Chains A and B, each alone.
Chain A
């Protein structure tokens, strides 16, 4: 069964609105979760590392005020795309692992379309 559950699977929103994506670890407590972005026909790029109870660590070039990450519990991390614009349209995927240095599991992904 699924180890990581991500919702919604797809969302269409208007420019200027905000969208929240949830990522839940179903089988274990996850102190660390990872958020990736994937453009069509491209690879996955790490956006940020989400740490339970502390601030997220963002990769170079990722706007932390645009992509708000909250990891308030050991089973839930959220990514909020604020004031979304068409260029934010993409596929967003979360990931976690039971222990660091072990197998990573991925959510189903969220396809965001901003119109």
Chain B
């Protein structure tokens, strides 16, 4: 099946700093999403972005499908941005619409 690798696994920032999280995948994809998992476990949808670039406030994401990677940018980070960020993909061709998750990036934003 499709492989998803996220980097870095851990990231510690001071409030106000910017960061870039990366998601590499091993095959073509029909679907790619970024999630933020809050301390209670809830997965918050950030972006549905199988290709192209999107922005939502301080967050933006870019997926270059032909090169099999996606980037999540967080600008002017806040303590509330802390948590685990997951990239999940649905492989193209016979994937049965399953989402495969990366191992996540644990982000800690210190005041």
Q: What is A's interface to B at a CB cutoff of 8 Å?
A: 32, 34, 38, 42-46, 49, 57, 91, 93, 95, 97, 100-106, 108-109, 111
**Is A43 a contact of B104 with CB atoms below 8 Å?**
yes
**Is A108 a contact of B42 with CB atoms below 8 Å?**
yes
**Is B42 a contact of A109 with CB atoms below 8 Å?**
yes
Chain B residues near A93 (CB, 8 Å)? 41, 43
The interface size bin for chain B is 20 to 34
Identify whether the interface residues of A are mostly helix, strand, loop, or mixed.
strand
The answer, among B41, B42, B98, for a CB contact under 8 Å with A46, is: B98
**Is B86 a contact of A34 with CB atoms below 8 Å?**
no
Q: Which 5 A-B pairs have the closest CB atoms?
A: A103-B48, A106-B43, A109-B41, A43-B101, A44-B101
Complex Cα–Cα for A102 and B99 (A): 11
B14: interface (CB < 8 Å): no
The answer, among B40, B42, B96, B99, for a CB contact under 8 Å with A104, is: B99
Complex Cα–Cα for A7 and B105 (A): 27
**Is B30 a contact of A101 with CB atoms below 8 Å?**
yes
Nearest CB to that of A103 among chain B residues? Answer: B48
The answer, among A32, A103, A106, for a CB contact under 8 Å with B97, is: A32
Among A44, A45, A95, A108, find the residue whose CB has the most chain B CB atoms closer than 10 A: A44
The answer, among B30, B41, B97, for a CB contact under 8 Å with A108, is: B41
7 A-B pairs within 8 Å (CB atoms) are namely A46-B98, A91-B41, A101-B30, A102-B48, A104-B31, A106-B35, A108-B42
| Interface bits B36-74 vs A (CB < 8 Å: 1, else 0) | 000011110100100000000000000000000000000
- Given A102-B48, A103-B45, list of 4 further CB < 8 A pairs? A34-B98, A38-B41, A93-B41, A97-B97
B102: interface (CB < 8 Å): yes
